């Protein structure tokens, strides 16, 4: 009896122990699932912040281009001097005549000194030249300007012979590798070649645009790609992206990078690159079954038209379809009015003082006839494939988030695939956390090759390999060594911190508009609003489409009564920014809100990319703005202004002095 009781007790104890262990395992599993779910929610919110800010900036860029184009065409019909000045600012490599460009970018007259220790190129190029370049760039060496211009000259000659749509076959090589955006990240390109092998007769590559901007080694990436293009013209194919564009490069860093690296010959290099970009093919067809394009398609995409377009011609302003002329006229009115209001807000001119634009100052509907609108239709084809993004919903709508191209649904994809007997599309243009992503029932594949695009640990890079069976095989990677040492939590926390820092800068940049929005909910002028109204007010100002209620705990301190002292909160944001920038608070908000636009305008005026603009250039620019933005500045007033901001009295205006001009005019108003 005693022995049986002991066994029974041990059994019950063992059973209880197992039950407790099982319960503990379930609790741990539940906790872990909640933990992973919270991490995923944080990751998605962070991702949306980065993308919303990025796309808003792209939208500003297109509006700015449209605004200047409109100034050229419509604001100054009677002033040839002002028209000529603005036209000169927009002269790019694509506008040069053949003989002029050859003479301007003459590389043969340049001597390479004996002291030069970098790589030397001779044409036609050989594989050893490419190897030497790769090693030189790994050692942070710089290619001499003579060889850069010579390479660009030969690349241009080759590209001019290519069709708009390149054709690649897997019959002549083991496989075709497709790479997405690189954005000047040389380490990613090195890693791709290390993992996948260098281009060769048995290893074909398609690089799907956006080679430059944002990264610090865009020029090196470009030089390597052009070198392999010339060595293996049948195996290396380059598509144009939306960043292979003169105006986009002014904003996103490539122009500045070239001028910093080549202070003497940088302007010539930029002119030649601008022209080379205009000759890049627009798409690639693999085995007549897979279409590779940078952005996407629309419901009007016509591959037959794309094949016949003169791709090197200067582009008109970004515009909607000409099919609906009233819609186009309204679009012109809206875009220009928005940019005018931006300029007015910059100097605090009230809306009551503004002069409403009339349809007589817009594009006449009768002017929409003629061959120039056929050109617009052709460019809409190009803009759609460079700027568009897929969406899960059916249909095709304007891409209002980026400001260019469209959103296309699975039905649009299906019709294009059926019409041209294609299996699927490969596109890039969007950063993806894993480096690639399928959508539209696996008929659209996005491939993105710049790892750590937003921040270290934010995303992997990837490339895709296609054999004769056209089944995609993906390779993912992280080019940054630090990213490999971070745990998932550390990675998300690091990226999240960077995203919220960028978002707080965005909020601070719109302080004045936010105060007005908050006051609409503060009827009694208490300086306080309900936290529930905060999200609505912020979205009404920033238009980023973010889940503000979910983000609120990271941005706004919680209070027991659910109220926010918004002026105190905005003061805290201002203190945070002032600790980073030692600039007067009166100017700081203006700079944060408009710095990208102002810096782009400054670079447009600074035609020689010296970092300085002359008094005459400054005078003409301000005369143009003052005449059409209702800013009352006489010639004498402009002269006084330019003298007052030339702090070092060198007879030129640098960017900081240019910003000071806006502060002074704002103050006087």
- Which residues have a catalytic role annotated? 243
475 phi, psi to nearest 5 deg = -125, 125
In a 3-state reduction of DSSP, which class is residue 440? Answer: coil
The whole-angstrom separation of Cα 667 and Cα 669 is: 5
406 phi, psi to nearest 5 deg = -145, 170
Collect all residues with Cβ–Cβ distance below 8 Å to 5 and sequence separation of at least 6: none
- Yes or no: say if 378 and 309 are a contact pair by the CB < 8 Å rule: yes
Output Rg (C-alpha) for the chain, integer angstroms.
28
Q: Residue 75: name the closest of 340, 399, 410 by CA.
A: 340
The whole-angstrom separation of Cα 626 and Cα 621 is: 9
Collect all residues with Cβ–Cβ distance below 8 Å to 2 and sequence separation of at least 6: none
Residue 74 DSSP class: I
- Yes or no: say if 292 and 239 are a contact pair by the CB < 8 Å rule: yes
Residue 454 DSSP class: S
How many other C-beta atoms lie within 10 A of the C-beta of residue 159?
21
Helices (H), 447-510: 481-485, 488-509
648 phi, psi to nearest 5 deg = -90, 5
Residue whose token pair is 């105060």: 515
In a 3-state reduction of DSSP, which class is residue 638? Answer: helix
The whole-angstrom separation of Cα 379 and Cα 382 is: 5
The two tokens of residue 185 are 């990240």
């Amino acid at each position: 009896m005693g022995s049986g009781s002991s066994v029974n007790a041990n059994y019950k104890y063992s059973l209880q122990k197992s039950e407790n262990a099982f319960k503990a395992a379930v609790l741990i599993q539940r906790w872990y699932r909640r933990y992973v779910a919270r991490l995923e929610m944080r990751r998605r919110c962070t991702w949306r912040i980065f993308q919303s800010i990025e796309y808003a900036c792209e939208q500003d860029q297109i509006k700015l281009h449209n605004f200047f184009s409109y100034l050229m065409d419509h604001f100054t019909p009677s002033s040839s001097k002002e028209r000529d000045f603005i036209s000169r600012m927009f002269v790019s490599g694509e506008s040069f005549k053949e003989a002029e460009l050859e003479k301007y970018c003459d590389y043969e007259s340049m001597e390479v000194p004996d002291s030069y220790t970098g790589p030397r190129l001779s044409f036609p190029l050989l594989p050893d030249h490419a190897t030497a370049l790769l090693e030189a760039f790994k050692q942070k060496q710089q290619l001499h300007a003579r060889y850069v211009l010579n390479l660009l000259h030969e690349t241009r000659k080759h590209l001019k012979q290519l069709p708009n749509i390149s054709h690649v076959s897997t019959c002549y090589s083991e496989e075709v590798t497709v790479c997405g955006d690189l954005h000047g990240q040389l380490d990613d390109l090195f890693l791709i070649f290390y993992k996948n092998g260098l281009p060769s007769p048995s290893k074909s590559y398609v690089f799907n645009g956006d080679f430059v901007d944002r990264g610090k080694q865009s020029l090196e990436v470009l030089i390597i790609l052009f070198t392999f293009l010339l060595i293996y013209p049948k195996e290396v194919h380059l598509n144009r992206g939306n960043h292979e564009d003169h105006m986009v490069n002014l904003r996103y860093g490539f122009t500045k990078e070239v001028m910093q690296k080549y202070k003497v010959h940088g302007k010539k290099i930029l002119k030649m690159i601008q022209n080379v970009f205009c000759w890049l093919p627009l798409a690639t067809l693999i085995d007549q079954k897979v279409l590779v394009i940078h952005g996407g398609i629309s419901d009007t995409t016509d591959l037959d038209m794309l094949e016949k377009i003169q791709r090197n011609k200067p582009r008109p302003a970004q515009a909607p379809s000409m099919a609906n002329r009233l819609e186009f006229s309204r679009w012109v009115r809206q875009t220009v009015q928005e940019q005018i209001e931006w300029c007015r807000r910059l100097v605090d001119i009230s809306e009551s003082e503004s002069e409403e634009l009339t349809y007589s100052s817009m594009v006449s509907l009768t002017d929409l006839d003629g061959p120039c609108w056929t050109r617009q239709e052709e460019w809409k084809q190009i803009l759609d494939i460079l700027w568009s993004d897929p969406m899960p919903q059916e249909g095709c709508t304007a891409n209002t988030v980026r400001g260019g191209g469209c959103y296309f649904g699975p039905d649009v994809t299906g019709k294009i695939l059926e019409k041209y007997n294609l299996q699927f599309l490969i596109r890039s243009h969007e950063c993806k956390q894993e480096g690639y992503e399928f959508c539209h029932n696996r008929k659209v594949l996005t491939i993105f090759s710049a790892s750590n695009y937003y921040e270290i640990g934010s995303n992997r890079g990837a490339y895709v390999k296609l054999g004769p069976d056209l089944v995609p095989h993906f390779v993912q990677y992280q080019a940054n060594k630090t990213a490999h040492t971070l745990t998932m939590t550390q990675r998300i926390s690091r990226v999240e911190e960077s995203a919220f820092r960028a978002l707080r800068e965005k909020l601070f940049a719109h302080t004045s508009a936010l105060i007005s929005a908050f006051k609409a909910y503060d009827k009694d002028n208490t300086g306080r609003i309900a936290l529930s109204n905060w999200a609505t007010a912020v979205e009404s100002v920033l238009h980023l489409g973010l889940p503000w209620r979910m983000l609120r705990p990271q941005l706004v301190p919680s209070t027991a009564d659910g109220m926010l002292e918004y002026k105190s909160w905005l003061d805290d944001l201002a203190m945070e920014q002032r600790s980073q920038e030692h600039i007067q608070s009166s100017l700081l908000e203006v700079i944060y809100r408009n710095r990208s636009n102002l810096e782009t305008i400054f670079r447009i005026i600074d035609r020689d990319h010296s970092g300085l603009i002359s008094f005459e250039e400054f005078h003409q620019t301000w005369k143009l703005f003052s005449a059409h933005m209702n800013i009352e500045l006489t010639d004498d007033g402009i002269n006084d202004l330019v003298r007052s901001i030339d702090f070092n009295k060198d007879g030129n205006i640098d960017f900081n002095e240019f910003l000071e001009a806006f502060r002074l005019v704002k103050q006087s108003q």
